Structure 1
Amino acid sequence: MTRLSVNINKIATIRNARGGNNPNLVQVALDCERFGAQGITVHPRPDERHIRYQDVLDLHEVVTTEFNIEGNPDDRFIELVRRAKPAQVTLVPDAPDAITSNAGWDTIRHADHLRQLIDTFRADGIRVSIFVDANERMVEGARAVGTDRIELYTEPYATQYPNDRDAAVAPFVKAAQKAQELGLGLNAGHDLSLENLRFFAEKVPGLLEVSIGHALICDALYFGLENTIQMYRRELMYNE
């Protein structure tokens, strides 16, 4: 079964635009769960331009599905994750000034660093996922450092999908097959949408979880949040 984790960063962006607490991020997270989300994802960044560090601690108190915290593992992020103790931490190598994540880890070059991080989080009982490109060598490197899962960075798939969906998904199928061969759990995320999600989930073996934020929140402006979450769930229903 492929699970849907809703990334609520964009809700925090809207709230922060006017100050105050409208929309209420915690209430939206609870509503997402009530509407069928099987997880809640947040990606705090150092400038707190959307998710604030306090948001993470507040959400930790109320989220009853899988809580996933993703981000660049600087010292402050590590401390935050260890306090919140989510079900999963996803390590993403994005620069502090990045608009959004734009590449996966070089799991070979950064092997020692990743191994230390994984040991730290797993000692606290937190499952670890590493954000990687659809590259079999990077998947092998992820297995070598002891991670529980990888998350495939799917923006290249989404970009190529309208032109040649079979070519777009091919490297992700190979990466997923390598992950299965090595016993790694498999997640995916970035620019997955109602247009391209079903095909990806049908073709990529062993897909456990997708994390979707931007496209889902944009669709919710037209379809409503509850209906949109159910629409995304239906794109994954063939796996259930």
Structure 2
Amino acid sequence: MTKLSVNINKLATLRNSRGGNVPNLLKSATDIESFGAQGITVHPRPDERHIRYQDAHDLKGVVTTEYNIEGNPIPKFMDMVLTIKPTQVTLVPDAEDAITSNAGWNTIKHKDFLIEVIKTFKDYGIRTSIFVDPDVDMVKGAAETGTDRIELYTESFAKEFSEGKKTESIQPFIDAAKMANKLGLGINAGHDLSLDNIKFFKEHIPNLFEVSIGHALICESLYLGLENVINMYLHRLK
């Protein structure tokens, strides 16, 4: 079964909008795990507009499933991850002022940098994943960095799927996944995956280890309830 890791950035955004500690991220993470999610994901950014660096440290003490920290490996981020030692670190080439992730790594252009960063994390026993576009050449480049996994950036799939272009939407991801399997890379995926498209995506991607879902899951939970939505995802991922 493909694992579901819930990104709780949006809960932090809600908390920060009023100050204080409502919703409580630590309790939310514990509840999300109790509802059946197999992981918690956070993506702290330098301006800390949603997840704060202190949140990432505090969550280490309560997350009992897989703990995944995403971000651009700037020095501050790397120091934090090496201190916390989460289950997995996902490297994302975000600009500091990015609203959300909007591109995968050019694993060929940044190969030497990624090799150095990934070796540092793996020396600390942290599983590594690289955020990549569904491009066979980028997957090949990722394999040369020493990463354990890739995370397929799925925004293009979600957009085309919503327009009824199912075949067109999924084919690049099938090709990328087949190459990853051939090269021995684990496969994660995330960005704009939702209850509407997750089943179709999962059924077409061979050996999909994990999906990381935040924005859609939290929005869907406003109508359907958090526990219910998590179980709806788990059902689709079987």
Which residue does the alignment assign to 2:191? 190
CA distance in 2, matches of 1:36, 1:136: 33
Q: One-letter code of the match for 1:216?
A: L
Runs of 4+ with deviation above 3 angstroms: none
Per-residue CA deviation, residues 182-203 of structure 1 (Å, 9 max, x unaligned), is: 0000000000000100000000
CA distance in 1, matches of 2:237, 2:23: 28
Unaligned stretches of 5+ residues in structure 2? none
CA distance in 1, matches of 2:111, 2:64: 33
CA distance in 2, matches of 1:170, 1:185: 18
Which residue does the alignment assign to 2:50? 50
Which residue does the alignment assign to 2:167? 166
Which residue does the alignment assign to 1:13? 13
Structure 2 residue 204 is matched with structure 1 residue 222: no
Q: How many residues are matched? A: 237
CA distance in 1, matches of 2:145, 2:78: 18
CA distance in 2, matches of 1:136, 1:25: 37
Q: CA deviation at 1:3?
A: 0.3
Which residue does the alignment assign to 2:95? 95
The CA RMSD over aligned residues, in Å, is 0.5
Which residue does the alignment assign to 1:4? 4
Unaligned stretches of 5+ residues in structure 1? none
Structure 2 residue 56 is matched with structure 1 residue 82: no
> Larger deviation: 44-53 or 157-166?
157-166
Q: CA deviation at 1:112?
A: 0.5
Per-residue CA deviation, residues 97-153 of structure 1 (Å, 9 max, x unaligned), is: 110000000000000000000000000000000000000000000001110000000
Aligned residue for 1:100, secondary structure, equals: coil
CA distance in 2, matches of 1:183, 1:227: 35
Per-residue CA deviation, residues 62-93 of structure 1 (Å, 9 max, x unaligned), is: 10000000001100000000011000000000
Q: CA deviation at 1:52?
A: 0.2
Aligned residue for 2:90, secondary structure, equals: strand
CA distance in 2, matches of 1:129, 1:145: 10
CA distance in 1, matches of 2:39, 2:230: 11
Which residue does the alignment assign to 1:120? 120
TM-score by length of 1: 0.98
Aligned residue for 1:195, secondary structure, equals: coil
CA distance in 2, matches of 1:48, 1:120: 24
CA distance in 2, matches of 1:101, 1:25: 22
CA distance in 2, matches of 1:205, 1:164: 20
CA distance in 2, matches of 1:185, 1:58: 28
Which residue does the alignment assign to 2:40? 40
Q: One-letter code of the match for 2:6?
A: V
Per-residue CA deviation, residues 2-41 of structure 1 (Å, 9 max, x unaligned), is: 0000000000000000000000000000000000110000
- Aligned sequence identity (%): 64
Aligned residue for 1:161, secondary structure, equals: helix
Which residue does the alignment assign to 1:104? 104
Which residue does the alignment assign to 1:176? 177
Aligned residue for 2:151, secondary structure, equals: strand
Q: CA deviation at 1:166?
A: 1.1
